[in-house]
Structure 1
């Protein structure tokens, strides 16, 4: 029988950029990650405490653990599955590195052999859901949304046009994405991401309404995502079912968990 929080072992650690680390994980045992996930596929992970190399999975697998749990809860966070390999036996999670937070701290010291917990809920969960008629996509992300953005862009089919607005701490954090789609990139460097106010709302405010049916996906700091959501709905007249704006983190609040979602 599947357990709620399954073990996964680190097999590779790759520094993609000054502020992004990719960790390749391998399922321990006979469980597998889903192979049908798309875009910003979400996962909850149990993380080793500072100085430790194995997450405390046992608490999460207690029969009594769940809503109303009053005992001490080991650290866990929300992340995005960047890619899946070997029929779900291996998968990548990219970690934004920001100098604080238990997940970012662990990613910087992670080594092959470390074990984290994967909450394997039986089905893929994501926000990205473009309507079938969307010929144009507006994709907006800061550093925390970059892993989902990368997977979305790489999965775009030929014939789709996309405008990508991505905000990173420094030029070296700009990452390439292979895609069959026609993509226009606008990289914003040195703003947002804890360095100051995000420039993403202003960049979205400069966009003209696309000339064909469109869809927007936004993943960034919470107040920035709310401002962009208002822009999409009020100025561009986007119906609620044609955009998703997610607050992945909140400025001036500790921790790595998402702040709000819509």
Structure 2
């Protein structure tokens, strides 16, 4: 059985628990998905394309590396995907938030193809998750007189990655939910005994506080569709490490 077939089987089993398809972090699985996309007449092609665009984990996963590499090939017209234009490929890269996507953007900026390089620079100006090695490449290019490297660095100096973000609403309506009486700890939001599921954000989200609390939050959302639910407590104990991150993730979900 192929990895993609196993993934589809897993999706069906997750439906029984009310879970969406698990985000893809495996390079091997994504390579199979890309192969299906390149087969224009494959019966599962539309589904594969959807998973490639919308359900591949961003950041530094091996799947993200495969995704960024393929998007680079599309941009350079080495590969053709009817549904993914050059501009759309850049848009997808812009949502990948660092790691391999930054390497690809820098490659395109420094490759010397003016129209593509400018588009890559415009996207890079919006990115904030750069490693020292990425900044070193920009610095070297700037010192060698690359005008786009200078343009990107000047944009960073003006914090345009922040100042050009959409304005937040002038008014944000909230309805409060009391998380618990007394101390609200991150272990309540992300219980230690359920740590094994933290890598699966949606599954782990089901253990936040209690099933009753989650149903009450959903009831508040239904009663107040124009408001955001604010979790409140008398005091809070902030945990460390994964419990803190997973607790915040669960609140966001």
What TM-score results when the alignment is normalised by the length of structure 2? Answer: 0.25
Query: Comparing both structures, which one devotes a greater share of its residues to helix?
Result: 2
Query: Comparing both structures, which one devotes a greater share of its residues to strand?
Result: 1
